[in-house]
């Protein structure tokens, strides 16, 4: 698949659990959703610099029967509510509900780039000018497969990921989403 080329339109693709929200395996209860400290400030800074903000999240808990699509939608409404309180609006949320052991193979489940490519087409994003931020190898690999640069955060599974081949190849390693946003903005000025 080819990248969408629209000079000036760039995005930051954000993993949800372990990157934006505190890691809770198979999170389905909106009351348990908590933004990492500094997440709102980080996203406001990226938005101010012109980034589109898109959450890209694998939700295999649906395929596994641990939650429903409605549970995921309720959680995303809560996420948007938490971000509104921080004066941040997402430009999109892309979800993959599949898991090859329970449903089917698909092009959107990270580490495949389908969700990022789909969002780029919807929003007219230049993938080569964009970044992906995540805490797992599948996040970083999906970003690279789509043509973005990849930032590893050391929250969630990030410390374990740093030890992996994918983690060692990250374009940026940061202790938090806030620090990743600073690094991305500094790299854009170079």
DSSP assigned state of 127: G
Note the pLDDT tens digit of each residue in 121-167.
999 999 999 999 999 999 999 999 999 999 999 999 999 999 999 99
For residue 2, the model assigns a pLDDT of 46
Q: Does the pLDDT at position 5 exceed 50?
A: no
Task: Tell which wins on pLDDT, 62 or 178.
Answer: 178
Residue 2: inside a domain: no
Among candidates 54, 60, 48, 152, which has minimal Cα distance to 100?
Answer: 60
For residue 181, the model assigns a pLDDT of 98
Q: Does the pLDDT at position 46 exceed 60?
A: yes
Separation CA 21–CA 29 (nearest Å): 13
Separation CA 54–CA 2 (nearest Å): 19
Residue 4: inside a domain: no
**Helical residues (DSSP H) of the chain, grouped into ranges:** 39-48, 69-85, 114-123, 137-146, 158-162, 165-168, 177-189
Between the two ends of the chain, the Cα-to-Cα distance in Å is 28
Separation CA 178–CA 83 (nearest Å): 14
Residue range 24-50: mean pLDDT, rounded: 97
**Strands lying side by side in the sheet with 51-58:** 92-96, 51-58, 10-14, 131-134, 149-153, 172-174
Note the pLDDT tens digit of each residue in 58-117.
999 898 889 999 999 999 999 999 999 999 999 999 999 987 676 677 888 899 999 999
Residue 171: inside a domain: yes
Residue range 8-32: mean pLDDT, rounded: 95
CB 133 within 8 A of CB 13: yes
Angle at 92 between CA 98 and CA 109, to 5 degrees: 20
Residues of the domain holding 50: 10-189
Q: Does the pLDDT at position 179 exceed 80?
A: yes
CB 130 within 8 A of CB 11: yes
Q: Which pLDDT band, with edges at 50, 70 and 90, does 4 fall under?
A: very low
For residue 1, the model assigns a pLDDT of 42
Q: Does the pLDDT at position 3 exceed 50?
A: no
Q: Which pLDDT band, with edges at 50, 70 and 90, does 7 fall under?
A: low
* CATH number, position 174: 3.40.50.1000
Residue 156: inside a domain: yes
Residue 3: inside a domain: no
Number of domains in the chain: 1
Residue 30: inside a domain: yes
Residue 1: inside a domain: no
Residue 31: inside a domain: yes
């Amino acid at each position: 698949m080819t990248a969408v080329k629209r000079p000036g339109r760039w995005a930051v693709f954000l993993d949800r659990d372990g990157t934006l929200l505190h890691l809770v395996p198979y999170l389905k209860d909106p009351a348990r959703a908590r933004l990492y400290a500094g997440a709102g400030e980080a996203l406001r800074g990226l938005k101010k610099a012109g980034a589109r903000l898109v959450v890209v999240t694998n939700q295999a808990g649906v395929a596994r029967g641990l939650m429903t699509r409605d549970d995921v939608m309720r959680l995303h409404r809560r996420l948007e509510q938490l971000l509104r309180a921080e004066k941040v609006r997402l430009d999109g949320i892309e979800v993959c509900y599949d898991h090859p052991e329970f449903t089917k193979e698909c092009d959107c489940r990270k580490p495949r780039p389908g969700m990022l490519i789909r969002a780029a087409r919807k929003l007219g994003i230049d993938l080569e000018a964009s970044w992906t931020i995540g805490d797992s190898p599948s996040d970083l690999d999906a970003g690279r497969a789509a043509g973005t640069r990849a930032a590893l955060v050391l929250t969630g599974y990030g410390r374990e990921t740093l030890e992996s081949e994918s983690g060692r190849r990250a374009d940026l390693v940061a202790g938090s989403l806030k620090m990743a946003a600073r690094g991305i903005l500094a790299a854009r000025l170079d």
